[in-house]
């Protein structure tokens, strides 16, 4: 009888949760159906699968947007395995945006069209990504976090590996999978330790932290560090960044446009959730938990990440490798708001991520176009581009200014918000490490200028050695202009965007103080 009742409640829970899970269900169905479509229509039509997938993404987008209406405060689905919060929906929207832009960039991409192992597979992977990423951004249960991350990781390995043609990119793919598998294993071990210490895998409520506090100090710190390793790998923070430049270099630009944005954003969503557990619901909200000094460890990793990323980027001659290190450096900046668990830091993190996604999509749009049209991958091969492609070049300069963090672009506003939240944390905790972090971040901005400037330097100051004949397709220009308009709007009139973001993220941060 008891069992029956439980089963009924369980079933009700599940059926009750389904309406909130529509985007993910849609994506899963699209994935399965697309495989069959590909199987049966491969000979007749190549464009059917991409078309179908895009339609599926649009449907998922519709359901995701609908969730803003349905979800006003966070709700728990599937017996507390999934937590759907307004902030999570923003992330989901971002993933879809990245996926759709990537989709459009990929349709004409030579590298993907001519991929020997098939053209449609690439598009079929996109909905899988979305499901995994969505689960990552919505989970507050270690098992679900692991599940989501693995799903994304495996999808990434497939994408990188099946695009690999030259031995070099094959090497990158193997590296990627190997490092990834290792970090997953370490993380899983950490999770099992945590489970052993606390008796629960759910991050919801105070049981987890209360039990963990009773555990021996070293073991709990070790377990946390191991789990952290998995997250740091996903956001490509030092010292888990080795694979990034190789993977970027060996993979077509549209794929990187996606891999450098969405999984990283999801990684930050997970990290934010995880760290949130350790903020004590007290008068001050900085990360105080006697057993593990989050603040100093994160500061240290953040400083190392941004400095190493920027310094390595200085030496690069390949645009993709340069952007790989740039994205590592940005990881360092994005880690800054994690140090403070406040409404402001939650909002500034999401704001920075939104702008980062726009910037990276724009950069890889250009890189992809250059690769396709001229086979250009080196900085040298961008010489004198501006004279032939004025609009694209101007857009590029704005994007680069935003990556450096110059006003009036979104990158500047993001940096300003991030710095402000750290400064605010310093005012409360007076931890000198936070000051070192700020100084390091500021110095890094100057270093970053060096290598970001090299792109406009080649595009504008050097004379072209060849004639750039191929016309930029109109749809690329339109997307580029939209992305740049978004970046500029986020810089000149950020009020609405920040208001919207903080309205959705406020609760995520607040919930811990109640």
> Which position among 126, 370, 494, 508 is part of the footprint of other proteins (CB under 8 A)?
494
Q: Does 272 bind other proteins (CB under 8 A)?
A: no
Nearest to 335, CA basis, from 321, 323, 352 = 352
CB of 21 to other proteins, least distance (A): 30
Q: Does 457 bind other proteins (CB under 8 A)?
A: yes
> How is residue 157 written in tokens?
């390995």
Q: Does 426 bind other proteins (CB under 8 A)?
A: yes
> Which position among 419, 483, 487, 504 is part of the footprint of other proteins (CB under 8 A)?
419
Q: Does 495 bind other proteins (CB under 8 A)?
A: yes
Q: Does 80 bind other proteins (CB under 8 A)?
A: no
> Which position among 7, 442, 478, 485 is part of the footprint of other proteins (CB under 8 A)?
442
* Under 8 Å between Cβ of 499 and 415: no
> Which position among 401, 440, 479, 484 is part of the footprint of other proteins (CB under 8 A)?
401
- Phi then psi for residue 139, to 5 deg, are -90, 150
Q: Does 213 bind other proteins (CB under 8 A)?
A: no
CA distances from 425 to 287, 339, 435 (A): 10, 8, 10
> Which position among 449, 464, 482, 511 is part of the footprint of other proteins (CB under 8 A)?
449
Nearest to 350, CA basis, from 290, 293, 272, 275 = 272
> Which position among 31, 146, 248, 285 is part of the footprint of other proteins (CB under 8 A)?
285
Sign of CA dihedral 315, 183, 250, 367: negative
Q: Does 81 bind other proteins (CB under 8 A)?
A: no
Cα separation, 22 vs 67, in Å, equals 9
Cα separation, 500 vs 494, in Å, equals 10
Q: Does 509 bind other proteins (CB under 8 A)?
A: yes
Cα separation, 374 vs 368, in Å, equals 10
Q: Does 485 bind other proteins (CB under 8 A)?
A: no
> Which position among 134, 183, 316, 421 is part of the footprint of other proteins (CB under 8 A)?
421
> How is residue 161 written in tokens?
């590996």
Q: Is 43 exposed, middle or buried (0-12, 13-18, 19+ CB in 10 A)?
A: exposed
Q: Does 412 bind other proteins (CB under 8 A)?
A: yes
> Which position among 66, 74, 165, 424 is part of the footprint of other proteins (CB under 8 A)?
424
Q: Which helix (H) or strand (E) holds 83?
A: strand 82-84
Q: Does 182 bind other proteins (CB under 8 A)?
A: no
Secondary structure class of 141 (helix, strand, coil): strand
Q: Tell me the residue ranges of DSSP E strands in 294-437.
A: none
* Nearer CB in complex with other proteins: 342/389: 342
Positions in the binding site for other proteins (CB under 8 A): 285, 342-344, 347, 387, 390, 397, 401, 404-408, 412, 415-416, 419-421, 423-424, 426-427, 430, 432, 435, 438, 442-443, 445-446, 449-450, 453, 456-457, 460-461, 493-495, 498-499, 502, 506, 509-510
């Amino acid at each position: 009888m008891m069992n029956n009742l439980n089963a009924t409640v369980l079933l009700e829970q599940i059926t009750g949760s389904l309406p909130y899970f529509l985007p993910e269900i849609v994506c899963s169905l699209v994935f399965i159906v697309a495989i069959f479509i590909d199987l049966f229509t491969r000979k007749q039509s190549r464009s059917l699968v991409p078309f179908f997938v895009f339609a599926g993404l649009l449907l998922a987008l519709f359901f995701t947007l609908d969730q803003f209406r349905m979800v006003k405060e966070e709700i728990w689905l599937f017996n507390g395995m999934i937590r759907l919060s307004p902030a999570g929906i923003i992330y989901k929207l971002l993933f879809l945006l990245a996926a759709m832009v990537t989709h459009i960039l990929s349709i004409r991409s030579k590298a993907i069209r001519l991929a020997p192992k098939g053209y449609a597979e690439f598009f079929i992977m996109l909905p899988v990504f979305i499901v995994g990423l969505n689960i990552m951004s919505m989970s507050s249960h270690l098992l679900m976090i692991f599940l989501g991350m693995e799903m994304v990781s495996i999808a990434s390995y497939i994408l990188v590996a099946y695009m690999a043609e030259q031995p070099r990119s094959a090497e990158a793919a193997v590296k990627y999978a190997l490092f990834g598998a290792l970090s997953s294993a370490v993380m899983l071990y950490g999770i099992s330790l945590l489970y052993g210490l606390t008796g629960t895998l759910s991050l919801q409520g105070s049981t987890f932290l209360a039990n963990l506090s009773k555990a021996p100090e070293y073991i709990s710190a070790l377990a946390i560090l191991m789990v952290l390793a998995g997250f740091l790998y996903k956001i490509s923070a030092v010292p888990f960044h080795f694979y990034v430049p190789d993977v970027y270099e060996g993979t077509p630009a549209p794929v990187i446009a996606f891999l450098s944005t969405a999984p990283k954003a999801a990684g930050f969503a997970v990290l934010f959730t995880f760290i949130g557990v350790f903020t004590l619901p007290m008068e001050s909200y900085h990360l105080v938990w006697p057993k593990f000094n989050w603040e100093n460890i994160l500061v240290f990793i953040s400083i190392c990440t941004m400095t190493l990323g920027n310094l390595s980027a200085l030496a690069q001659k390949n645009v993709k490798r340069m952007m790989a290190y740039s994205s590592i450096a940005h990881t360092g900046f994005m880690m800054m708001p994690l140090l403070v668990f406040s409404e402001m830091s939650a909002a500034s993190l999401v704001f920075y991520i939104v702008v980062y996604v726009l910037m990276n999509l724009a950069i890889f749009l250009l890189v992809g176009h250059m690769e396709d049209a001229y086979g250009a991958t080196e900085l040298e091969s961008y010489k004198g581009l501006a004279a032939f492609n004025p609009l694209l070049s101007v857009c590029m300069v704005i994007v680069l200014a935003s990556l450096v963090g110059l006003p009036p672009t979104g990158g500047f506003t993001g940096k300003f918000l991030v710095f402000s939240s750290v400064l605010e944390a310093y005012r409360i905790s007076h931890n000198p490490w936070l000051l070192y972090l700020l100084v390091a971040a500021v110095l890094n901005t100057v270093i970053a200028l060096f290598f970001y400037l090299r792109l406009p330097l080649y595009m504008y100051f050097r004379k072209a050695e060849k004639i750039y004949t191929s016309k930029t397709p109109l749809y690329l220009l339109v997307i580029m202009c939209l992305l740049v308009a978004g970046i500029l709007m986020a810089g000149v009139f950020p009020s609405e965007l920040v208001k919207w973001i903080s309205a959705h993220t406020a609760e995520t941060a607040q919930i811990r103080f109640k």
